[in-house]
Chain A
Amino acid sequence: MKRAEAVAIGVATAIAIAVGIGAGLWRSVASTPPPEIGGYVLPRAKPLGALQLIDDRGAKVAAQNFVGRWSFLYFGYTYCPDVCPLTLVELAEVKKKLAERTPSAAMSVYFVSVDPQRDSPERLHEYVTYFDPDFHGLTGDVSEITALANAVGAVFFVPPGQDEKTYLVSHSSSIALLDPSGALRAVFTAPHDAEQVAADFAKIYSRYETRR
């Protein structure tokens, strides 16, 4: 066998093997359903679309600001004394658990105000950093907050007939998870247990992180 022929056969074999492995991998990933979690995982991550918010340090936040990290989004308001602090305590616990469980996964937690009228960036900053110094607050125009909520399947509304100073806001109890491309990947449904959310995230992370 001439040397050129031998090389050609070698290359062809290598390509065949590579294609075979690639197809096998692709098939195994494509045919495996998304992991089961306390909530739901989107088979195809859903991009957010354009939005313009303000964070708790007064900086502008657009959709591309969510790129590069896994983002946990919870919608609430600082006027809420019960469920919101409860969930933020749980998210602080999730963050601690993930630091040990998936140390390679960069993650951020965002508390998105459903009450921009009362939640200024300053107030949000004091509030979110109380639960964890790395937590972020988001506020802005109601229309922009609504756009983000719509993009991640969350809702919020002010039930009618309330005092204009002491009104309460109803809001989604779920936590949305954006992947590092900034697209919605999963939604954790309430009630939230830090251990469960951390375990669910680990499943999602190992399933999707390598595919990006």
Chain B
Amino acid sequence: MIVTNCRRAALGFLLAGLASVRAGAAEPSIHVVDAWARATPPGVENGAVYCKILNHGGADRLVGARSSAARAVEIHESLAQNGVVEMRRVDALPVGAGASVELAPGGTHVMLVGLAAPLAAGATIQLTLAFATAGEVTVEVPVVDARAPPAAHEHEHHGQ
């Protein structure tokens, strides 16, 4: 499937994703892991971040996001219905008690609107996700070249 390449690329960043931190609390109820941003072609305005949200606490909702890498950050959902793809803004993404929610290519994603600069593979951006109950979670997001990798590129990914 389409997702496989990106997932494979993202796997290499499992550890980087686990380094997510929540400012303040000693025992955060929400962890954001496996975060990665799609490297962007030159000239494009927007980017996308994917991640997994693990909720160890009670029912919560992702209600906002921000990053210094973009003018605005929104939660979006790509919906494919009747052969048409529609991207919709999601105001609040429910994260059930003890549940995990995956933001993956072709589905729900964090949209970076108005990039300050193109996202270059190998760089890292900071993303803060705001949850209604758990508060803010800031995560370091590696930028990944998600193009079908020639053998040499793939090697780079796994090397990090």
Which residues of A come within 8 Å of B, CB atoms? 78-83, 85-87, 89-90, 92-93, 96, 122-123, 126-127, 130-131, 155, 159, 166, 168, 170-174, 189-194
Asked if B80 contacts A192 (CB within 8 A), the reply is no
Q: Which residues of A contact B105 (CB under 8 A)?
A: 82, 86
Interface residues on B, range: 20 to 34
Asked if A83 contacts B85 (CB within 8 A), the reply is yes
Per-position 1/0 for B65-109, Cβ under 8 A of A: 000000000001010100111110000000000000000011001
> In the assembled complex, how far is the CB of residue A72 from the closest CB belonging to chain B, in whole angstroms?
15
Which residues of B come within 8 Å of A, CB atoms? 1-2, 5-6, 38, 40-48, 76, 78, 80, 83-87, 105-106, 109, 111-113, 146-148
Asked if B106 contacts A78 (CB within 8 A), the reply is no
Q: Which residues of B contact A193 (CB under 8 A)?
A: 1-2
Which of B5, B48, B87 meets A89, CB within 8 Å? B5
Which of B6, B38, B86 meets A81, CB within 8 Å? B38
Q: Tell me the complex Cα distance, A150–B12, Å.
A: 43
A89-B147 contact given A81-B112, A166-B113, CB 8 Å threshold? yes
Asked if A155 contacts B84 (CB within 8 A), the reply is yes
**For residue B76, which residue of chain A has the nearest CB?**
A82
